[in-house]
Structure formats: structure tokens, C-alpha cells
Amino acid sequence: MTTSTLSRKDQIEQTATALFKSRGYAATSMRDLATELGLEAASLYSHIKSKEEILQRICFRMANEFFEGLMQAEKTIGNSTQKLEAAIKSHLTVLTKQPAASAVFQNEWKHLSEPFLSNFLKLRHDYENHFRQIIQEGNASGEFAVADEKMATLMLLSSLNFVHAWYKPYGKLSPQQISDTLSNMLLNGIVSGGKSQTAVRDLSIPNQSDGDVYIPAQKPAGFKNPKEQLKNIHQN
């Protein structure tokens, strides 16, 4: 699926997605977008009605994808742990298949105008509630031990959502490995202990999965005192 096989409108959306992710929606101009596509800015308006329309399409398309995945996951037969695992895996599948669009979905929705903004927030709220429902059921059955279901839901989703910031499609970690490892950590925690680890298909993930993000460092680099930076900021 190269760029050339896409319709012009889809090319515009794809390129805009990449720019919105890296520079932010407000800091991306139609000239930037046109230049990236080898066009003049005015030509874009033969394909789209406005800059915001592009954002709307990205946000609601992604909302739709996250929702469809969750609806499938909720059909999973089994206990709450298995349902939650399926929901986590579905969320991460969407996120790793479309990391840039997911980032825009999560970070740029505030620039939607009404009534799109309200509709978007309602959808997100519903989505969170479905996750919370799974946690609630697991808590009621004694399967989970969660003190605050709302916080657990938000913690869980924020852990998953940040994946777009470090996931590399061609990195050493496959979506499956990410899904398994994250599921296990969220369900069973960091502290060692004899808990069930039904989600874990591969615990022998090579510990050296660095490279993607970090310079492998055995010892953390010493602090370069942040106060130094403050001093370097130009005063008036």
C-alpha cells in the first residue's frame, strides 16, 4: 500500500496525520501540508472543505476503530480477566496499526469545534465506561481487587495510550509482545509473586529491547542539573 495507490483525499489525510502528530494541529499550516504533497495550498481545497475537516475525519475514524475492536472483545467468552485481556489487546492492535492517527486522536481533539467536540467527548466517555464495566464485573466476582474502579480504568487506558509515543513499527517488539507484556504488568503488577499469569505467552522476551528509544545505559547518566537550564533562558 504505497502512497501512490491512495486517492488524493486519502493522501492528504495520511500526510496531515503525520504532520499533526509531529507538529500539532495548530502549528501545522495548509501550506506545510501542501508542500509536503508537492502542491500549492489552494489545491487542497479541491479535495477537502477545511483544515478542520481533516481533523474531524481522523478523530472520528479512529473512534470508530477503537469502538469496533472493543465490541468484538466484549464478546469474548470467559472470565473478567480474559475479557479485559481481549479489550487491552484490541486497543493495542488499533494503536500499533495506526500509531500516528492514534496520537492525533488522543492529543488534538481539543481543536475540534462544536458540535464535533461534544460528540467526540461523549464517545470517549462511553468507551471508558465500557472498560470500567469490565473492571467492575471482575471486582464484583472477586476476580479483581481494585480499590477505585475509576482510577483503575484511567490508569489502564493511559498506560495503553502512551504506547504511540514509543512504539516503532519496525522495532524489536511486535504488537503481540507489547500486548502480552503490558497485559501481564497491568493485571499482575510489577512486584514478583505467585499470581496467575494467564496472559503471558512469552515471558522470555529479550531484555535488550532497547535501541528503539533508549541509548542502552547500564547506569543512568548523572543529572545535568535542570537548574542550569533555567539560568540559560533569556531574561528580559
Partner DNA sequence: GTCTATATGGTGATAGAC
Partner DNA sequence: GTCTATCACCATATAGAC
For a second copy, the binding residues in 78-97 under the rule CB under 8 A are 81, 84
Residue 43 binds: one of a second copy, DNA, none (C-beta under 5 to 8 A by kind): DNA
C-alpha cell at position 193: 509473586
**Min separation Cβ 35 and a second copy, Å:** 18
C-alpha cell at position 140: 464484583
Say if CB 34 and CB 43 are below 8 A apart.
yes
| Residue 40 or 212 with smaller CB distance to DNA | 40
CB atoms within 10 A of CB 54: 26
SS3 161: helix
Residue 154 in contact with a second copy, rule: CB under 8 A: yes
In the list 162, 168, 174, 201, the residue contacting a second copy (rule: CB under 8 A) is 162
For a second copy, the binding residues in 51-70 under the rule CB under 8 A are 53, 56-57, 60-61, 63-64, 67
Q: Say which residues have a Cβ less than 8 Å from residue 82's Cβ, sequence separation at least 6.
A: 76, 198
Determine the size of the site formed for DNA (CB under 7 A). 20
Determine the size of the site formed for a second copy (CB under 8 A). 101
d(CA 112, CA 153): 25
Residue recorded with cell 488499533? 94
Binding mask 3-42 for a second copy (x = CB under 8 A): ------x------------xxx-xx---------------
Residue 186 binds: one of a second copy, DNA, none (C-beta under 5 to 8 A by kind): a second copy
Angle between helix axes 8-23 and 30-37 (nearest 10 degrees) is: 120
Residue 47 in contact with a second copy, rule: CB under 8 A: yes
For DNA, the binding residues in 18-57 under the rule CB under 7 A are 28-32, 34, 38-43, 45-47, 49-52
d(CA 85, CA 183): 6
Residue 142: C-alpha distances to residues 139, 160, 210 (Å): 5, 24, 37
| Residue 2 or 190 with smaller CB distance to a second copy | 190
C-alpha cell at position 63: 473512534
Binding site for DNA (CB under 7 A): 8, 28-32, 34, 38-43, 45-47, 49-52
